[in-house]
A and B are shown apart, each in its own frame.
Chain A
Amino acid sequence: MYISYNWLKDFVDFALAPQELADRLTLAGIAVESVTELGKDISGVVTGRIEKIDPHPNADKLVITRVNTGEEKLQIITAATNVKEGDVIPVALEGAKLAGGFVIKRAKLRGVESRGMMCSGQELGIDAKTMSAEQAHGIMILPPGTPLGRDAKEILGLNDFILELDLTPNRGDCLSVVGVAREVAALLGRPFRLAEPSFPETGENISGQVRVDIDAPDLCRRYVARLIKNVRIGRSPLWMQSRLRAAGMRPISNLVDVTNYVMLEMGQPLHAFDYDKLVDHHIIVRRAKDGENMVSLDEVLRELNQDMLVIADPSGPVAVAGVMGGLSTEVTDNTTSILLESAYFNPVSIRRTSKSLGLRSEASLRFEKGIDLGGCLQAINRAAQLIYDMDAGDVVNGVVDNYISPVSEKTIMFRPKRATYVLGLDIPKEKASDILSRLQFKVQDAGADLLVTVPTYRVDVSIEEDLIEEVARIYGYHEVPATLPSGSASHGAKTREQSFRTMIADAMAGAGFNEVVTYSFTNPRVFDLMNLPADSPFRNTVKIQNPLSEEHSVMRTMMLPGLLEVLAKNFNRRMQEGAVFELGTIFTPGQEGHPHEERHVLAAAAMGRAPGNWKMQPREFDFYFLKGVLESIFRELGTEDVKFYPEKANPSFHPGRTATLDAGERKIGIIGELHPSVLERYDLPERVVAFEIDFEGLYAVSGKPKVYNPLPKFPGIERDLAIVLKRENQAGDIMETIRKTGGKLLRSVSLFDIYHGEQVPAGYQSMAFALKFQAADRTLTDAEVSEVTAAIAAELSSRFGAQLRG
């Protein structure tokens, strides 16, 4: 919303400079985005009349003009083609400054002296959108009677400032100059004045000439109409054109301009119909019928339905109520009578209609915020007055006012005590009363409290808190002290699960991974990229009805595609290494009638290798690296009993290098190298490892409390055990057997070497374990330890065919 600084002064006197005014309004909740000075940097332009035009002796495209500026007659050479003798135009005199810092100097054009320049609208800094192409780019021709020698800035309303408001949706009343002027008056404590329109009426009363029926009273609470006859279509006066332009609107013709002018000024959208084109001069306000259509003013055929309110005559719709007029009853140069409409339409209905038609107009914008039901008549009268003042037509006697459900006055009790309870600031009753009165609320004394009547245009005020805000914002939020809540104490702490999440993120970052944040929505195509079969449960997604694009059209059911995308993007930027993780949410559709399920998942992926240098060999990010990360995190999180089982059947992963994570009976995740075909599709390097773990599953087996174990008092004995056995045997099984057989005395087992090659038969491998024996209550003897070691060797031999290696 653009508001002219000068226009405000029609309704309230004040001396504040534009920027100061803007600051005051902003701090009172009417946010001013910007203050623009019209005609900034423009000077030395006056009005002049072209007395004579002669051809230029040396140039076909130039003419020599003689321009009367009231004080002197200037010879000006121009290339403009839209001027004729007698036109009044803006003349930039010698030394004048125009838009863009352009300075006018005396010049010779093809041998003939030129002492100034005629200006186009754009050269005067006027927004081209608000002018016809001719005015914008050709010379701006002013109305014939315009006085000569006057400052063109003043004549064109360019000595003004425009406040651009960023209004909150509750303040529809401030979508008007009058509304903002009321705020200014209240803020500054100055009187607000709004004259009752007055104008003479003529001829036979309207009642016999216009019929208005409201068939949809739920959607139209009031319809006011006036009839203007003998209209004289022409241009509106300069001052009106200027004000429309300042508000960003383009002047069209005097009658159309009046409707726009009143809307800008009063906030009440008006519509003008060509009276003679309304069949039977009969207005019917009704719901559209399904299948009905209408060509709107912008020459688009609009399909209507019964949820939409239309203005119709007996032949069919002539306007989509409150949104846009119809072409068939448009006011044209041939129009002789118009029917003016000033109505109140249901905000929700307007909003739905304008949404479903994809059509937002200045009118619908105001109707959907709720206009002043009590103000329809005053607005139409203001238009009638302007039409009279401009001599643009004869206002017919009388008015049709179909006022179906009159506005009911809202009264609210304002309790100063309550205000203090809410604000923490004592505002005396008298002060509150003064503020509310300044805001045009009617205030009656009611003992300790105030009985407040809300003006009809303040549709946003309905409860006491609304009044409290009104008082506080005018009083000034800066007056409210800063305190801390003094009530009962509360203990702030994360839940165990929340702390656990932080621990995981810390542990992953500590392990060298960078946290990433990827979108929760994804492209359904990723399931193909991930090699998933058509019946994969991961393809069962929660779908977004109105996605921004296919790429973001379903909620993710797995984290890995996002991480692979991140790695691929980085790889594409020539990053060879990368280790990333995310603790995110996945979504699965709920069964019939159940909410969708959201689960937290920890996922990580790594490509390339850990950094090395002159001192240290770089380490490949391979399966064992990632497994080591998990094992270390499990230790940190106190996670128990997670086992790694070979997983050969997951289509996204390498069948020989992947494991399922099992916690008890529950499968909580997967870890492995990605399948080469997946990597190829993502344009990733040859090897990428990743894991994805269900957070709740991990949480369920984690958090084992830390308990102190007494340090051993007796020395331990270490033995190495090297065996040769077939390669298909798995280390996990062997170590499990060693532990079991070793019993209580075996304190730890570690695998320190694996070998296969020339020294062992083909298909076999050698494994070397370091065993540490220790007892809590005595020093072990060699004999004891040898006995246990022998038992272990025997067990390995019988279960796996393992031979002791010399």
Chain B
Amino acid sequence: MEEKLRRIGADALRELSNAGTLEDLNELRVKYLGKKGELTQVMRGMGALSAEERPLIGQIANEVRSLIEKELTTRTAALKEVAREQRLREEGIDVTLPGSPLLRGGKHPLTIVTEEIQKFFLGLGYSIAEGPEIETDYYNFEALNLPKDHPARDMQDTFFISDDTLLRTHTSPVQVRTMEKTVPGLPVKVIVPGKVYRRDDDATHSPMFNQVEGLAIDRRITFSDLKGTLDLFMRDIFGPKTKTRFRPSYFPFTEPSAEVDISCVMCGGKGCRVCSHTGWLEILGSGMVHPRVLEVSGYNSEEVTGFAFGLGVERITMLKYGIDDLRILFENDLRFLQQF
């Protein structure tokens, strides 16, 4: 019997080593180890053996069985590997063919830049305030220290709805609207993004454009805080090498007032066509909130000070992306929009 077992084992190993496919292996498993397999048949006959022989033969049978099983596993793994290799060889594709197109959209560059500005100021603890685009003369001018017939009204050619109602010419009216709500609370820190309107339409003016207003009110807010804030802001938007320059200027609702220039983003300040060879680009207007504006809003201007600034989103967008034509921002040419 022992001989028979050994012979089965040897046959099985030989046949296994000759097997060329996974199907062959499976057949051999059935042939030797299956319910009616050769090894199983032999082992069933073990009942006829004597009590002394049985453990001995049993042990041999197990040895043979495990030998076959081990070989089966090895061969299976080897053949699987061969099959996989083959599949990988056959399944190559042309990876240079174009991929399946996704429908791709995007936000308008003005929105992208506005959000960038918002993100910066949210990080500094500012909230976002909003106000109506159809505004009263009071909030747009009067409360901002621009009484009727003030020459500075000429700086902002206005669309009128009625004698007393107009399309806001700047986002500044939201300063007063905000303070009226917050008074006497402190601090007030808001930015105001929004559309504004001026009666101008040429290569460098659009009758509708976008501004972001900033306002910070507290005890002891200083002009130097304005400088520091805008300094940081400009470096955030235009890169860490950006320098700022503050020039005295005039806005009826700030005093002292400052025009802010940045070092030219194109030439870095050396002078080029974009900056008219001055090395500087005018970027926004700012100043300390005029005491009258604070008073009109209900704050005591002796105790409370603040700064305000207003910038044109179009200007920043154009400088950021190197756009040299304002109009293209409002033409909504998809070939333009799809670049963002």
CB pair B248 A472 closer than 8 Å: yes
CB pair B160 A492 closer than 8 Å: no
Residue on B with the closest CB to A28? B248
Q: Is A368 an interface residue (CB 8 A)?
A: yes
Given contacts A465-B288, A505-B111, A580-B332, contact A511 B248 (CB under 8 A): no
Given contacts A351-B151, A480-B246, contact A495 B128 (CB under 8 A): yes
Residue on B with the closest CB to A629? B103
Q: Is A616 an interface residue (CB 8 A)?
A: yes
CB pair A485 B216 closer than 8 Å: yes
Interface size counted on chain A using CB atoms at 8 A = 95
Task: Please give, as numbers and ranges, the residues of chain A lying within 8 Å of B48 by CB-CB distance.
Answer: none
CB pair B160 A486 closer than 8 Å: no
CB pair A483 B248 closer than 8 Å: no
Task: Please give, as numbers and ranges, the residues of chain B lying within 8 Å of A491 by CB-CB distance.
Answer: 125
Alpha-carbon separation in the docked complex, A509 to B105 (Å): 4
Which among A192-200, A285-293, A381-389, A544-552 touches the partner chain?
A544-552
Q: Is B309 an interface residue (CB 8 A)?
A: no
Q: Which of A171, A425, A492 contacts B125 (CB 8 A)?
A: A492
Task: Please give, as numbers and ranges, the residues of chain B lying within 8 Å of A306 by CB-CB distance.
Answer: none
Q: Is B106 an interface residue (CB 8 A)?
A: yes
Task: Please give, as numbers and ranges, the residues of chain B lying within 8 Å of A168 by CB-CB distance.
Answer: 249-250
CB pair B334 A490 closer than 8 Å: no
Query: Nearest Cβ in chain A — how far from B309, in angstroms?
Result: 13
Footprint of A on B, CB under 8 Å? 97-108, 110-111, 115, 118, 121-128, 132-134, 149, 151-152, 154-155, 159-162, 165, 167, 186-187, 189, 195, 197, 199, 201, 207-208, 216, 218-225, 227-229, 231-232, 245-250, 255-259, 288, 290-291, 305, 329-335, 337-338
Q: Is A336 an interface residue (CB 8 A)?
A: no
Alpha-carbon separation in the docked complex, A26 to B108 (Å): 36
Which 8 A-B pairs have CB atoms at the shortest separation, nearest pair first?
A29-B248, A424-B222, A512-B103, A424-B224, A469-B256, A168-B250, A473-B248, A482-B228
Query: Nearest Cβ in chain A — how far from B26, in angstroms?
Result: 31
CB pair A422 B105 closer than 8 Å: no
Q: Is A348 an interface residue (CB 8 A)?
A: yes
**Contact residues of A between 466 and 495, Cβ < 8 Å to B:** 466, 468-469, 472-473, 477-478, 480-495
Query: Nearest Cβ in chain A — how far from B107, in angstroms?
Result: 5
Question: Most B CB atoms within 10 A — which of A368, A465, A516?
Answer: A465
CB pair B132 A169 closer than 8 Å: no
Task: Please give, as numbers and ranges, the residues of chain B lying within 8 Å of A495 by CB-CB distance.
Answer: 127-128
Task: Please give, as numbers and ranges, the residues of chain A lying within 8 Å of B160 by CB-CB distance.
Answer: 544-546
Task: Please give, as numbers and ranges, the residues of chain B lying within 8 Å of A209 by CB-CB distance.
Answer: none
Alpha-carbon separation in the docked complex, A615 to B93 (Å): 13
CB pair B334 A492 closer than 8 Å: no
Residue on A with the closest CB to B244? A482
Q: Which of B104, B125, B151, B222 contacts A422 (CB 8 A)?
A: B222
Alpha-carbon separation in the docked complex, A480 to B246 (Å): 10
The contact string, 1 if C-beta is below 8 Å from chain B, for chain A 576-611, is 001111000101000000011010000000000011
Q: Can you list 13 A-B pairs, Cβ within 8 angstroms, ordered by A?
A: A422-B256, A469-B257, A482-B227, A483-B224, A487-B186, A487-B219, A488-B186, A489-B125, A492-B123, A492-B189, A495-B127, A505-B111, A516-B337
Alpha-carbon separation in the docked complex, A573 to B220 (Å): 56
CB pair B256 A516 closer than 8 Å: no
Query: Nearest Cβ in chain A — how far from B141, in angstroms?
Result: 14
Query: Nearest Cβ in chain B — how far from A509, in angstroms?
Result: 4
Q: Is A786 an interface residue (CB 8 A)?
A: no
Alpha-carbon separation in the docked complex, A281 to B162 (Å): 45
Q: Is A709 an interface residue (CB 8 A)?
A: no
CB pair B224 A508 closer than 8 Å: no
Alpha-carbon separation in the docked complex, A515 to B330 (Å): 11
Task: Please give, as numbers and ranges, the residues of chain B lying within 8 Å of A506 by CB-CB distance.
Answer: 107
Given contacts A169-B250, A515-B108, A616-B101, contact A425 B133 (CB under 8 A): no
Given contacts A484-B228, A505-B111, contact A518 B159 (CB under 8 A): no
Alpha-carbon separation in the docked complex, A475 to B208 (Å): 38
Given contacts A460-B250, A465-B288, A543-B161, 11 further A-B contacts (CB under 8 A): A29-B250, A169-B250, A421-B305, A423-B256, A485-B218, A487-B187, A495-B128, A509-B105, A515-B111, A544-B160, A587-B134
Alpha-carbon separation in the docked complex, A585 to B135 (Å): 14
Task: Please give, as numbers and ranges, the residues of chain B lying within 8 Å of A613 by CB-CB distance.
Answer: 98, 100-101
Task: Please give, as numbers and ranges, the residues of chain B lying within 8 Å of A489 by CB-CB distance.
Answer: 125
CB pair A482 B134 closer than 8 Å: no
Q: Which of A172, A483, A542, A547 contacts B222 (CB 8 A)?
A: A483
Task: Please give, as numbers and ranges, the residues of chain B lying within 8 Å of A170 by CB-CB distance.
Answer: 152, 250
CB pair B122 A493 closer than 8 Å: yes
Alpha-carbon separation in the docked complex, A508 to B149 (Å): 45
The contact string, 1 if C-beta is below 8 Å from chain B, for chain A 529-561, is 000000000000011111110001001000000
Task: Please give, as numbers and ranges, the residues of chain B lying within 8 Å of A585 by CB-CB distance.
Answer: 133, 195
Task: Please give, as numbers and ranges, the residues of chain B lying within 8 Å of A505 by CB-CB distance.
Answer: 107, 111
Q: Which of B123, B154, B216, B224 contacts A425 (CB 8 A)?
A: B224
Task: Please give, as numbers and ranges, the residues of chain A lying within 8 Å of B256 by CB-CB distance.
Answer: 422-423, 465, 468-469, 472-473
